[in-house]
Amino acid sequence: MQSRNGRSPVGGGAAEDLPEHPAPRDPVPPDGGQGPAAGYDDPWYDALAAGWAEADGAGLAARAVPAPRRERERGVAEVYLEVRSSAAFQEVRRRYRRFVIPGALVFLTWYVGYVVAATSAPGLMARPVAGAVNVAMLAGLGQFLSTFLLTWAYARHARLRRDRAALDLRWSTQELTRSSGGGQR
């Protein structure tokens, strides 16, 4: 594709060949604006951007545009697939599941048990324990207490059994992505 001044927009001339100010042109060509040269006279259209399409010494246009994202990230995706299939990652996931699945089941059972007891056994839940405090109030407070207890247990388990291994995986993954060229910006 040629621009209106006859130069190719890609590799068509060096920056020194560009005129400082192009010669003024009539905004409407003699054919009444119907031909291929129709349009406004824009001096910026024909000027090359700095670093684009400059010759690399062999007469070819140098590639100034970075590689497409898919090409760069192909190595990074392979790194993450490799890490995901590693024994260390599988161990971190196994430790996570061994805590979370039983903890979630116990907590949900406790919550559903509270709701079922409150709706199906109102006499049991209304039984006074001490003064104005009844079983339902204690069970409701127990729900809050068990939520905080489960949160504390999860954080402790993560700190003692998973965080170190997960941090090691993160560092090794960063090193692998950096060495594959995916960590460059």
Closest residue by Cα to residue 25 from 8, 45, 1, 42:
42
- What tens digit of pLDDT does each residue of 125-175 get? 999 999 889 999 999 999 999 999 999 999 999 999 999 999 988 988 888
The per-residue b/e assignment along 90-104, b for 16 or more CB within 10 angstroms, e otherwise, is: eebeebbeebeeeee
Give the pLDDT of residue 69.
Answer: 53
| Structure token pair of residue 33 | 């604006």
- What tens digit of pLDDT does each residue of 64-98 get? 555 555 555 557 788 888 888 889 999 999 999 99
| Structure token pair of residue 49 | 């951007």
- What tens digit of pLDDT does each residue of 137-151 get? 999 999 999 999 999
Contact call for residues 139 and 117 (beta carbons, < 8 A): yes
Domain boundaries, the chain: 1-65, 69-179
Contact call for residues 37 and 29 (beta carbons, < 8 A): yes
Sign of the Cα pseudo-torsion (112, 113, 114, 115, in order): positive
Closest residue by Cα to residue 47 from 82, 17, 75, 76:
17
